[in-house]
């Protein structure tokens, strides 16, 4: 995926200005930056989840396999079917575990081998062993970490090409976090992952590439997110080019 001159407005307020970077296929790209710098806004514009916010306007383009997803002839629902998303807080539907995973398949009208697909998705999300005996019990009875892995399984069941993760571990304990990071490494063999995180160690551990965003404040006190630096994660953390990146990752700012 390629972001080219992406700016996002909320009403009159410019939330993110002129962000351009590429997301390499089959790699994990982390987006880091201080609170309010527009990390999530950028992420949500990658599968048009911003469409849901009143007064949100997007300028520039986001190319997915050569097609601008904001072009007028693009169907947002189809975009989201291929570019899945996992949210900050686990959002299991108040249904059984099985019904949660099979949900996307039902939407997509996929009828064949549903049970196999559900099992495969749950195995991919490293949840199968814990829930295989109780697929019919409610998803809300799972722990927070299990719920988040269920949400990942649910997103994987429709076999997306790209998976967007918006601080997927911020509500989880270190053990659950480690499991999800392992999972991402495995999944990146088959799909592209973009993860927003405020945990620098996580970005350093779990991602291949890192984009650093920060906030600029103009004369009127309006805060706007801008892209500072994109680089392979090792390089960005070892030898940041921009002074602001260095300050942020060494903990002197943000």
Partner 1 sequence: MTDTALLPKPSTQPGFGPVLEPSQRTDVRAKTVSAGRRRTDKVATIALWCAVLAAVVPLGAVITVLVAKGFGVVNWHFLTSDIPSVTGQTTAACRDITPAFRAKYGINCSPPAPGMGPAIVGTLISTGLAAALAIPIGILGAVYCNEIGVRTRLASAIRFFADVMIGVPSIVMGMFIYTAWVVRFGTNGRSAFAAALALACLMLPIVLRSAEEMLRLVPDELRHANLALGGRPSQGVIRVVLPAALPGLISGSLLAVARAAGETAPVLFTIGVTLSLNTSPFGENTTLAQQIFSGAKSGLPLANQLAWGAAFTLVAIVFGLSALARFVASRSSKVQKG
Residues lying near partner 1 in the complex (CB under 8 A)? 47, 49, 52, 54, 77-78, 80-82, 84-87, 89, 91, 93-96, 103-104, 106-108, 137-141, 151, 154-155, 158
Report how far Cα 250 is from the mean position of its chain's Cα atoms: 24
Decide whether 75 or 115 has the Cβ nearer to partner 1.
75
Nearer to partner 1, 69 or 204 (CB): 69
Q: How far is the CB of 12 from partner 1 (least distance, A)?
A: 18
Neighbours of 81 (CB within 10 A): 17
Least distance to partner 1 from the beta carbon of 32, Å? 22
Q: How far apart are CA 34 and CA 225, in angstroms?
A: 10
- In the complex, minimum distance from the CB of residue 229 to partner 1, in angstroms, rounded to a whole number: 28
Lateral strand order in the sheet of 192-196: 67-68, 56-64, 2-10, 13-22, 223-232, 209-217, 28-32, 192-196, 162-166, 83-86
Which lies closer to partner 1 via its Cβ, residue 98 or residue 237?
Answer: 98
At its nearest, how many Å lie between partner 1 and the CB of residue 96? 7
- Using the minimum distance from each CB to partner 1, give the nearer residue, 108 or 238: 108
The least CB distance from residue 77 to partner 1, in Å, is 6
Which tokens belong to 30?
A: 């982390």
For residue 215, the cross-strand partners are 225
Nearer to partner 1 by C-beta: 163 or 230? Answer: 163
The span from the CA of 215 to the CA of 201, in Å, is 21
């Amino acid at each position: 995926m390629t972001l080219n001159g992406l700016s996002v407005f909320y009403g009159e307020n410019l939330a993110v200005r002129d962000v351009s970077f590429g997301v390499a296929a089959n790699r994990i790209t982390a987006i880091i930056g201080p609170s309010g710098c527009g990390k999530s806004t950028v992420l949500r514009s990658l599968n048009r989840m911003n469409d849901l916010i009143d007064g949100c306007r997007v300028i520039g383009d986001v190319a997915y396999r050569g097609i601008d997803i904001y072009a007028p002839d693009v169907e947002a629902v189809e975009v989201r079917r291929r570019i899945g998303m996992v949210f900050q807080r686990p959002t299991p539907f108040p249904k059984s575990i099985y019904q949660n995973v099979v949900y996307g398949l039902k939407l997509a009208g996929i009828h064949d081998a549903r049970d196999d697909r559900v099992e495969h998705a749950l195995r991919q999300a490293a949840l199968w062993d814990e829930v295989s005996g109780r697929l019919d019990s409610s998803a809300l009875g799972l722990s927070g970490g299990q719920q988040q892995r269920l949400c990942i399984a649910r997103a994987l069941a429709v076999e997306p090409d790209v998976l967007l993760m918006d601080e997927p571990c911020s509500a989880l304990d270190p053990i659950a976090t480690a499991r999800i990071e392992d999972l991402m490494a495995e999944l990146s063999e088959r799909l592209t992952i973009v993860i927003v995180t405020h945990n620098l160690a996580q970005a350093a551990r779990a991602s291949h590439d890192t984009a650093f965003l920060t906030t600029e404040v103009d004369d009127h006190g309006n805060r706007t997110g801008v892209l500072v630096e994109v680089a392979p994660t090792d390089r960005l953390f070892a030898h940041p080019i921009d002074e602001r990146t260095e300050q942020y990752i060494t903990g002197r700012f943000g």
